Chains A and B, each alone.
Chain A
Amino acid sequence: MPVTLVDRLPLPNLKVYTAGSVSLLSIAIYYALSATSDPNWRVNVTQGRQEGMAEPGDLEAQLVMTSPPVVAGNGTRNISDQFVDVMTFMMQEPLCVWTLINLAYCSLAVFGFGVQRLVFGQLRVAEAQRVKDKFWNYVFYKFIFVFGVINVQYMDEVLLWCSWFTLVGFLHLLGQLCKDRYEYLSSSPNTEGWVHVRLACLLGGILTAATALLGAAAAWGLPAGRDTFAFMAAECILVLVAVLHVVARYVLQLYECDVAGPVAYYTHLVFDSVSLVVELIHVLHMVVYSNMLVSMASLVLLMQLRHLLHELQARVRRHRLYTSLATHMSRNYPMASKEEVDKNQDNCAICWEPMKEARKLPCSHLFHNSCLCQWVQQDASCPTCRRGLAGAAPARPAPHAAPLPNHLFHFDGSRYVSWLPSFSVEVTRVRGELAPGPALDNTAQQLQHMFPQYSIATLTADLSRTASADLTLDNILEGRLVAAEPIPEPEPLPVQQQPTLLDVATSTIEPWTPPSSAYLLPTTSTAGTDTIERSNRGTGHSTVAPENLVEDDVSLGGFAPSAASRAAALARRKERLVAGARLRYLRRLPRAP
C-alpha cells in the first residue's frame, strides 16, 4: 500500500543528511577550486559547453576575448578574487548549483530542528504525526499546483515556486505545531511561564516572517501578474490567520474570558470563517485559472472545494443553532435573582464551580448560563433532575462527531489519482502497534507500575519485541517474562515467592481481620510469617511491612500541591491497594471452595 509506504520510507535522519550535504558541498568547493586554479578556466568551461551545444563560432571568439584580464592577473590573485571566481564557477556548473540548493534545504531543516528543540522540546507523538500528515498533504497539493494549475515549463520557474512553497510550508508547519502545543498546554494544569514565553516568541516570529513573505509576494508576484500575486498572497494569509487565531486564544485566556461566553465564541467564529473563506477563494481561483475542467488536477481541486464548502456550511449551521439557542434561553428562562443565587450554597453542577450569576430552570435548579447553554445544545433537559425543557433546543445537532481522522485532506487518492502512484494521498497510521518512542516508554512505565518486580528495561525490551502492550501483559501474567534485574522497589509480595506464600496462606487459619485493626501478623507463632521475614531479608529490602501499609494509608490524607508528589502518592495508594488485596486474597484462600 502506498499509504504505509510513505510512513516507512527510509528517510535519512537529520545528522546523516547534514553530514552528507556538508561533504557534498566540500567536494563541490574542492572541484571548483581545482577547476578555477587553471587561469584559463573560463575559456575551458565555455569551450566545454560549446562542444555540446554547437554554438556559432563568432560567439566563441567573443567569449575568449573577454577572458584576458583573468589570464593576466593570475599570479597576483588575492583571496576575494578567488572567492568570486569559485562562486561564479559554482553558479555556472549545474552539479554545483544543485549542491547549493541542497545545502539551503539542509540549513532550513537544521534551523527548523533547532527551533523545535528550543521551543517545543521533544514533540509528542500526536504532534509529530500531525506535522507529518500536514507535510505530505502540503507536498501533494503543491505538486498539483505547480504541475497541474500553473503548468510550469522551465526549470527556473519550478525552482522558484519550490523555494517559495518551502518557506511558506515551513511557516505552515511551525504554525500547526504552535496550535497543537497551545492546545496541549492549555489542557495541562501546571506549566511554567517560560514555556508560554517561548511559544509566544515563536508566534511573533512566524507572524513577522509571514508578513515579510506577504511583502515579498507583493514585490515579486505583482510584476508577474495578478494571478501569481493572488496565489502567493493566499498562502501567506492562511498562515497569518492560523497563527493569529492562536494568538487570539492566548489573549482570551490572558483576560480570563469565559470560554463559552459570546466574546470567545465570536472570536472563534471570525477566525474559522475567514480561514475557510480565504481557502475557498484560493481553491476556486486555482480551478478557474487552470481552465481545464476535466483534468485530474481540477478533479483534485474540486474535491477539496467540496470539502471546504461542506465545512463552511457546517460552521454556518452551528452558528445559527448557537444564536437561536441563546435567544431561546434568554426568552424562556430568567436569570436567577441575587437572593436566589446567594441562598443557593451549591456549586454549578456542570462545572463544579461557584456561581455568581445563574440561570434558573422551571424546576428551580440553578446553573451557569454558559454551562447550561452548552448542555442544552446536546440534550433539552435539566442535568440534575432530567426534567424536559419544553420547546427547548430547536433542532438537536448531530451527536458529537467522531474525532477527525489524522489525515488532513478528504480525498481518496487511490481512487482518483492512479497516475500519481508515488504519492500517497491518505496518510494513515497503523493503529494498535507500538513503535519505539514515547508511546512505548509510556506503556512500559504503566506496566512497571502494575508489575514493579520488572525493571523498565525488561519491559521496554519485551514491548519492542511484541509491539503490543497486550502481548507483553500476557507474557508477564503467564510468567514468560523473567524479571532479570534485581527488584527496584520494595515489593511486599514478589511473585517469585508465591509457592511459599501460598503455603503460608494455607497454614494460617486465622480469619481475616478488617483493615482498620491492621494487618498484624503474629510474628513468632506461625512458620509462615518467618518465611516472609526471611525472604524479605533475603532480597535485602526493608519491605513495606503489612502494618505500615495500613498506618500509612491513614497518614495519606491531603492533596499534594505539586504534580510530582500527587503522582507519587497516587502510585503509592495503588500499590497498597493491590498489595492489600493480594494479601487478603491469600488469607481468604483456605476458606474458599
Chain B
Amino acid sequence: MAGSALRRLMAEYKQLTLNPPEGIIAGPINEENFFEWEALITGPEGTCFEGGIFPAKLVFPPDYPLSPPKMQFICEMFHPNIYADGRVCISILHAPGDDPMGYESSAERWSPVQSVEKILLSVVSMLAEPNDESGANVDAAKMWREDRDQFNKIAERLVRKTLGLPPP
C-alpha cells in the first residue's frame, strides 16, 4: 500500500517542481520520509495576509491518496479556519467518512483525484476568504466579522513574523 502512495507522491512532487503554482513551494522535508512534506504558501495579494510566506507541514497517511493528508501551519496563524495549533480546517481535507462540522456535502470532501497542489490552492483561497461556517478559531471568526481593522493588524504582525522582520 505504501508503495503506491509513494509513487503517487513522487509524481506530485515532480509536477509541483516542474510546474509550480505561483507563490507555492512544496516538497518532502527529507526524502528519507516521503510522507512528511513542508509547503510554503504566499499570502494572496490584496488580502491582509499579502506578502507573508506561511510554512506548513503536510503529513500523508500510508494509504494516500485514499485518505487525505493532514495539514498544519508551523508558524503562528490567526484565521477563522485555522486552529490555534495550526491545523487547517477545510472541507477538502476531510475524509469522506468523517464530518465533524456536519455541514459539508460529500462533494466538497476528500477524493483521490485531489492533490497537494489543489489542497494548497484551496488554502490560499481560504486565506483570502475565510469560511464563516467553520469555527476552528472562534476568536478569529468573531474578530473577522466585527473588528476587521484589528484582524488586519494581527495579520500584518504575522506576515512580518513569517518574513523574520520585527513587529511594526
* A contact residues vs B (CB 8 Å cutoff): 183, 186-190, 253, 259-260, 349-353, 371, 374-375, 378-379, 381, 383-384, 386, 396, 399-400, 442, 446, 450-451, 477, 479, 495, 498, 557-559, 563, 566-567, 569-570, 573-574, 577-578, 581-582, 584-586, 588
Contact = CB atoms under 8 A, between A and B. Distances in A.
B111 interface: yes
Residue picked from B1, B12, B107, B161, most chain A C-beta under 10 Å: B1
Contacts of A558: 18
A434 B12 CA distance: 31
Contacts of B29: 446
B31 interface: yes
Contacts of B160: 585
B111 A386 contact: yes
B23 A585 contact: no
Contacts of A374: 63, 66
Given A189-B31, A386-B107, A570-B17, A350 B1 contact: no
Contact of B113 (A349, A446, A563, A585): A349
A374 B31 CA distance: 26
A352 B12 CA distance: 9
Nearest to A388: B106
Contacts of A400: 61, 63, 67, 95, 97
Contacts of A378: 66-67, 95-97
B6 A189 contact: yes
B51 A585 contact: yes
Contacts of A557: 18
A353 B7 contact: yes
A399 B30 CA distance: 29
B10 A189 contact: yes
A433 to B, nearest CB: 16
A451 B164 contact: yes
Interface string B22-53: 01010111111111001010100000000111
Given A189-B10, A259-B1, A350-B112, 8 more contacts: A187-B35, A188-B34, A371-B4, A374-B63, A378-B97, A400-B95, A574-B38, A581-B163
7 contacts: A260-B4, A381-B106, A381-B111, A399-B97, A567-B30, A577-B23, A582-B163
Interface string B127-146: 00000000000000000000
A578 B98 contact: no
Given A350-B112, A399-B95, A399-B97, A578 B163 contact: yes
A585 B51 CA distance: 6
B101 interface: no
Contacts of B62: 187
Given A187-B62, A188-B32, A386-B107, A581 B51 contact: yes
Interface string B107-126: 10001110000000000000
B13 to A, nearest CB: 8
B159 A383 contact: no
B165 A498 contact: yes
Given A381-B106, A479-B166, A578 B53 contact: yes
B3 A259 contact: yes
A442 B30 contact: yes
B148 interface: no
Contacts of B66: 350, 374-375, 378
A558 B63 CA distance: 28
Contact of B164 (A371, A573, A582): A582
B65 interface: yes
A353 B11 CA distance: 9
Contacts of A442: 30
A399 B68 CA distance: 12
Contact of B166 (A498, A559, A582): A498
Given A386-B106, A396-B97, A582-B165, A573 B25 contact: yes
Given A386-B107, A400-B97, A183 B31 contact: no
Given A378-B96, A578-B53, A188 B3 contact: no
Nearest to B3: A259
Contacts of A479: 166
A351 B8 contact: yes
The 5 closest A-B pairs by CB, nearest first: A399-B97, A379-B96, A350-B112, A563-B31, A187-B2
Given A351-B7, A379-B97, A384 B113 contact: yes
Nearest to B17: A559
Contacts of B159: 585
B166 to A, nearest CB: 6
User: Which of A259, A352, A371, A378 has the most CB atoms of chain B within a 10 A radius of its CB?
Assistant: A352
B61 to A, nearest CB: 7
A383 B165 contact: no
Given A351-B8, A581-B42, A375 B34 contact: no
A577 B25 contact: yes
A183 B2 contact: yes
Contact of B55 (A371, A399, A450, A495): A450
Contacts of A371: 4, 112
Interface in B147-168: 159-161, 163-166
B113 A569 contact: no
A582 B33 CA distance: 30
Contacts of A259: 1, 3-4
Contacts of A384: 111, 113
A559 B14 contact: yes
A349 B4 CA distance: 13
Nearest to B24: A577
Given A187-B62, A585-B165, A351 B4 contact: yes
Nearest to A400: B67
A582 to B, nearest CB: 5
Contact of B27 (A386, A570, A578, A584): A570
Nearest to A183: B2
A578 B55 CA distance: 10
Interface in B80-100: 95-98
Contacts of B20: 573
B112 A349 contact: yes
Contacts of A253: 3
Contacts of B35: 187
B55 A383 contact: no
A9 B62 CA distance: 34
A54 to B, nearest CB: 68
Given A378-B95, A396-B97, A567-B30, A585 B163 contact: yes
Contacts of A446: 29, 38
A219 B38 CA distance: 57
A253 B32 CA distance: 19
A562 to B, nearest CB: 10
